[in-house]
Amino acid sequence: MGISYHENKRIFKLDTPKSTYMIGIVDEENFIGHVYYGRRVVDEDLSYLLRTSEGARVPSKNNRDRVSFMDSFPVEYPTHGIGDFRETCLSVKSKLGHSACSLSYISHRIYPDKPKLTGLPSTFGDSESCTTLELICEDKVLKLQVVLVYTVFEKLDAITRSVRILNASEDCIYLTKVLSACLDMDNREYDMLTLYGLWSRERMINRRRITDGKQLISSLRGISSHQEQPFMAILDKDANEDQGEVYGLHLVYSGNFMAQAEISQFGLLRATIGINPVDFSWKLEKGESFISPEAVLVYSSEGIGQMTRTFHDLYRSHLIRGEYRDKKRPILINNWEATYFDFNSEKLLSIAREASRLGIEMLVIDDGWFGARDDDNCALGDWVVNEAKLKGGMPYLATEINKLGMKLGLWFEPEMISPDSDLYRSHPDWAIQIPGRTGALNRNQLVLDISRKEVRDAIYDSISKVLHSANIEYVKWDMNRCLTDLGSACLEADTQGELYHRYVLGLYELQERLISDFPQLLLENCSSGGGRFDPGMLYYSPQIWCSDDTDAIERLSIQEGTSLIFPLSTMGAHIADCPSHSNGRSTPFATRGYVALAGTFGYELDITKIPEEDRQLIPEQVAMYHKYNDLVRTGDYYRIASYQSNHEYDCIQVVAKDKKEALVTYIQVLARPNYRTRRIRLKGLCEDMIYRIEETGLVLSGGALMHAGIQIDNMWGDYLGKIIHILAVN
């Protein structure tokens, strides 16, 4: 494993345990070609795949057809304006107004370890787990240096890519497009798999054939969005959970993005991913640098499931940070669906007393504890405790909660401002807006311009003052609207195109400051539910609220799409009230618990008002969580059946790394008349190991459990579930 350079062949070879990525330097002009990415090979040179001996050949031998060469050559990092008419990764505007850019290889560095990306979240590693290649390239006319950075993870089939651009000229250069990664491959009738959705229906799986032309997913909302995820997979047409080649691309970024697959006129496939170039530009002065977000590439020759497990392992070990990365999270109860804005100290304490008695470990106060906030029309930005509502303020409430043996958490929405707020009346120019235009409201709120340091400092000072005032151990950071009316009072006319990206950089700086100053804090990100559930935010918070739709049956599909690329430990999942506040559906309390067990597990209801039979189940659910969470949080995830696909039932399995324990969660969504049992075949076990099913006492080999399967009784009624615990026999 690792990275090697074969100088006589001018080939860079990047090896992971089961994949090889190969780059070649071509011709006198040092074009950088993408040679191969796929199943691991021992060969040091596959440069024949570049087809430089065919057709147009290389410019040094056939300069009359340079454009033909550029429009078909598999380029490692394609640039605009020089004859490559496919999607490119880099375009500029020079002082003369020209947009062309051409890169040539100059030199390289190979070293152990992995560099940080200044101001940006990224995966991390050390000299024992990572090797990095830097390809230094140059546009000699523009005097623009472009460094292509690749890191190989020694124990995972994952490679990360980013780009660092330096202006070495005397003049400013405007970057108008900077993508993070490109893959050029022959098309083999590939499919494209993406995650689409909307508020309360996030991350639905969409798979379709890649056809001629461009197939694009993107966000222009200022966030990664409910509608799309900055992820796509390119996969064999016959690939399924357990077999077939899969290439996963995921952008570690929380703002506007684009990911695209394109079939060219010659039947070649180009996949690209990075910051959305729409409304983006960046003024690069002499000596200044720009760094692109990181793209994560995962290869699997064993189907979608293996891609999923690689992403899970990578993010758990090399992206998530902090005290709670490898730690069981406290079981919390959030008062939002219990009270909305209608609460006071005594109401909260009544919920806490009952919750504590039943084994719940944290009370989270959601929206409505600050300023004059009795509905969602005012006071965002006024982060001062409303002591008319919360007598004694936060110190009193925290003390009383702690006396019950519970922790206290708070909801904030720091990026927003209400026109009806003291903050807006004092600083109306702090809102993102275009002079002369009436700003568009959403949820009756505007967005603060956190690209400005004074705005970030004011937000942070008000939040940290509240957190310092009492023993607050959890923060839910929400963001409930998209960005519109893009204008900043502090940017010049020729740098307004930087606002989207500067906003995201400001967000990252704020959250880095928060977790640095409060290292014991459990931070959970949220954006109207799952509107900013992306790997960029996971760098700052180990969990993200998965969706505002808390209905257990809807959550099956939402959590399936989320767990396709994100570890179960990251998915904020609660047992909510019924009938569901999302869709009016009623599901059994036990089933809601089984579904929430696949995430962080908590409660979102008024525990003092639920039926007694439900209340009595809570201690059992708490015990279930404590028994299985270590396995759920750290084990290998396997999907056995998809309710989103079959419309009848859902089944997932988590297997311990040592193969000695497994947990199966089975949800019967719709009962079937006149059926006997349903057979399911387990996955991921050791063939020769002997296992016992805890619930029945049945003893079988791993081979029998996986190939012959087990029988699941047809339960009487819809929306029912069960868990099956499997242990190796000593």
- Provide the annotated active-site residues: 478, 548
Task: Write the CA distances from 374 to 426, 441, 581, integer angstroms.
Answer: 21, 19, 20
Q: In which residue are the tokens 């219990």 written?
A: 338
Task: Write the CA distances from 212 to 182, 183, 263, 448, integer angstroms.
Answer: 18, 16, 5, 42
H or E, element range at 625: helix 618-634
H or E, element range at 664: strand 661-668
Angle made by CA atoms 546, 551, 552, in degrees to the nearest 5: 85
According to DSSP, residue 39 is labeled: E
Backbone angles phi, psi at 467, to 5 degrees: -65, -35
The rounded distance, in Å, linking the Cα atoms of 691 and 300 is 28
Q: Is the peptide bond before 112 cis (omega within 30 degrees of 0)?
A: no
DSSP for 541-587, please give it: -SEEE--S---HHHHHHHHHHHHTTS-GGGEE--EE-SS-TTT----
Which of 270, 323, 279, 317 lies closest to 88 in space, CA to CA? 270
H or E, element range at 654: strand 649-655
DSSP bridge partners of 446: 417
The rounded distance, in Å, linking the Cα atoms of 476 and 524 is 5
Task: Write the CA distances from 288 to 176, 388, 515, integer angstroms.
Answer: 15, 51, 29
C-alpha of 378 from chain center: 31
The rounded distance, in Å, linking the Cα atoms of 633 and 606 is 27
Per DSSP, which regions of 312-466 are E strands? 332-334, 362-365, 407-412, 416-417, 446-447
The rounded distance, in Å, linking the Cα atoms of 682 and 705 is 6
The rounded distance, in Å, linking the Cα atoms of 420 and 80 is 47
The rounded distance, in Å, linking the Cα atoms of 430 and 492 is 16
Which of 418, 86, 423, 68 lies closest to 264 in space, CA to CA? 86
The rounded distance, in Å, linking the Cα atoms of 704 and 721 is 23
- How many other C-beta atoms can be found within 10 angstroms of the C-beta atom of residue 281? 20
Which of 570, 380, 374, 343 lies closest to 479 in space, CA to CA? 380
Provide the token pair at 405: 């043996």
- H helical segments located in 52-146: 66-70
The rounded distance, in Å, linking the Cα atoms of 126 and 627 is 33
Which of 200, 286, 250 lies closest to 528 in space, CA to CA? 200
**Contact call for residues 231 and 248 (beta carbons, < 8 A):** yes
Provide the token pair at 355: 């919750």
The rounded distance, in Å, linking the Cα atoms of 281 and 277 is 8
Provide the token pair at 140: 């000699």
End-to-end C-alpha distance for the chain, whole angstroms: 35
Provide the token pair at 617: 């189940």
H or E, element range at 711: strand 710-712
According to DSSP, residue 301 is labeled: S
